[in-house]
Structure 1
Amino acid sequence: MRKSVILKHSIALVTILVTICCIFIVMVTFYNLPEAKNKSNEKMGFDPITRSRKNSLQDFKLGKFGEMMVEMLPQDLAFTIFVPSEEAFKRDLRLSLNDSLKQDKFNDTYAIVSRVLGFSAVPRTICSVDLRFGEVVSYDSLSGFPLYVSKDVGGIVVVNRIRSEIVDVRKREIVVHVLDGVIMDADFEQSVLYEETEED
């Protein structure tokens, strides 16, 4: 009789110990699992055509003309700027770092860049994550020029049919999207083309 009681208590004790060990192993395994890494947070550098990363201008070189555009705006107010890439400034506006920033041409260059800013800046924050795939949203730029913004495959922001190269670069309250082209109205585009034919 006494042996059966001891045996029952031993089985109960072993069962309790095994249960505690299992719980302990599960807890250790669960809490020591490596965290799933988010690829967008792996690198501190800028990855082109990114989806929703809050990169700062310190992590990314915007280019001299792009920096000029950003510096023209107050840094403590919310703005979004669709900045042309350096290549787009050179290709579409004939602005080059070697020539356009010389002292005798700087005022003209500044006027062109500020005019492009008027077409390209919106007084609100527009991040790529706020846009829905395939949906076109209309905004008025600082100059009143209408901007039609959408999100394409892979998180690419498209503005007036110009695709972005880089999105969601931040400088304080300002969000910058770098485009492979220049946003401008027909009159400004004609004046740029006219100046180009004059030079030829």
Structure 2
Amino acid sequence: MELSKKKMRRGHFSKNSIAFVCIVVSVCCLFVVFISMLRLPEVPVGSRSVGLYQTATMGRVSENEKFIGRFGGMMIEMLPEDLAFTVFVPSQKAFERDLRLQVNDSLVGEKMNDTYAIVSRVMGFSAVPRTLSSVMVPVGGEVSYDSISGFPLYVTKDIDGMLVVNRIRSERVDLRKGEIVLHVMDGVIMDAEFEQSVQPDNSEE
């Protein structure tokens, strides 16, 4: 009789231990998910992208906004500012000239999703997952890195301190946003295939 009671107690204890372990594991998993959501940048998707971008632009891009423009601000918001990145941001004029993106036209209605896709592709060509300030590039020398999309970037520096990346010259260097280093470029860094896809269609003209 006592033996069966002891077995019942052991079985009850084992069930309680398993339940306790399951609860602890569940709580830990929820905690990890919660922390991850706080740390990772929220990527705009679908119709929510317009509202998210407007909030981000108004609240986070401040003194550098006049240099990087609205589309440059979109690029930077795609990256976590607490991690080291270098971004060769096209100037507002370069976005308009090379990609035919207009602030008053490309950021409204259904065009917003297409604009976001183009800007995110440009960000993939233009961002390097490391810090690269202008002082790290020797005058007359060349350094090369792969962008986060794997596109090779060849960086040189002119005697006036401006950087040249794949033959595109910078307008401003060494701006900062958190851990991100920004260089504003007078052109858009992109591969030949993407460049061809965004070129004006001459047949329409």
Alignment partners' CA distance in 2, 1:99 and 1:189 = 21
Deviation string 1:64-123 (CA, Å, 9 cap, x unpaired) is: 000000000011110000000000000000001011001120000000000000000000
Look up the match of 2:43.
Answer: none
Q: Which among 91, 105, 110 is matched to residue 116 of structure 2?
A: 110
1:86 — aligned with what? 92
TM-score by length of 1: 0.69
Q: Distance in 2 between matches of 1:176 and 1:196?
A: 32
Map of 2:150 onto structure 1: 144
Q: 1:192 is matched with which residue: 189, 192, 198?
A: 198
Matched, 1:60 2:64: yes
Task: Give the root-mean-square deviation of aligned CA atoms.
Answer: 1.5
Aligned twin of 1:159 = 165
Deviation at 1:153, TM superposition (A): 1.6
- Counterpart in 1 of 2:103? 97
4+ residue runs over 6 A deviation: none
| Aligned residue type for 1:60 | N
Query: Partner of 1:129 in structure 2?
Result: 135
Higher CA-based Rg: 1
**Aligned letter for 1:118?**
G
Runs of at least 5 residues in structure 2 that lack an aligned partner in the other structure:
1-60
Distance 1:69 1:189, change over 3 A: same
Alpha-carbon distance in 2 for matches of 1:140, 1:166:
21
Secondary structure of the structure 2 residue equivalent to 1:65? helix
Unaligned runs of 5+ in 1: 1-56
Distance 1:109 1:82, change over 3 A: same
1:72 to 78, 82, 87: 78
SS at match of 1:67: helix
Q: For residue 129 of structure 1, what is the amino acid of its counterpart?
A: V
Q: CA offset at residue 198 of structure 1?
A: 6.1
Query: 2:81 and 2:201 mapped to 1: Cα distance?
Result: 34
The 3-state SS of whatever aligns with 1:77 is coil
Deviations 1:28-81 (A, max 9, x none): xxxxxxxxxxxxxxxxxxxxxxxxxxxxx6332221000000000011110000
Query: How many equivalent pairs are there?
Result: 144
Aligned position for 2:39: none
The two structures have a TM-score, normalised by structure 2, of 0.67
How much does 1:197 deviate? 3.6
Residue in 2 aligned with 1:171?
Answer: 177
Task: Name the % identity.
Answer: 67
